[in-house]
Structure 1
Amino acid sequence: MTIQAHLETLEKKHGALEEELRTALTSPSSTDRLISDLKRRKLRIKDQMQRIKESTRH
């Protein structure tokens, strides 16, 4: 997998998590644990994308 393809895959996952988080935040049955887990996973992916972008600039 190329770096660009990997980055695109991460961006899709990040978008999917964003949508899942949006749904969870509006659902009364969502737990705080679920919401924090989604936020943590989303942040982890964002960090990975940032590291890839920084490594390709050098």
Structure 2
Amino acid sequence: MALNAHLEALKRKHQAMSEAVERAQRAPGTDDLEVASMKKEKLRLKEEISRLSE
């Protein structure tokens, strides 16, 4: 059961990161490096979700 809870938490973090990336891309003056860093974190979360789901 702990694995399912961990997966759900990762999915929520991934969704929140996705929304944050979208907001940052729409905001004027957002640093491109910051957006790139957020995208890397989002990808890391996705990869971890995939790895744990196998």
Flag whether TM exceeds 0.5 (same fold).
yes
Q: Which has the larger radius of gyration?
A: 1
Alignment correspondent of 1:39: 39
Uncovered stretches (5+) of structure 1, i.e. residues with no partner: none
State the TM-score, normalized to the length of structure 2: 0.95
CA distance in 2, matches of 1:27, 1:9: 27
Uncovered stretches (5+) of structure 2, i.e. residues with no partner: none
Percentage of matched positions with identical amino acids: 37
Aligned ranges 1:5-44 → 2 under 5 Å: 5-44=5-44
Q: How many residues align?
A: 54
| Structural RMSD (CA) | 1.0
State the TM-score, normalized to the length of structure 1: 0.89
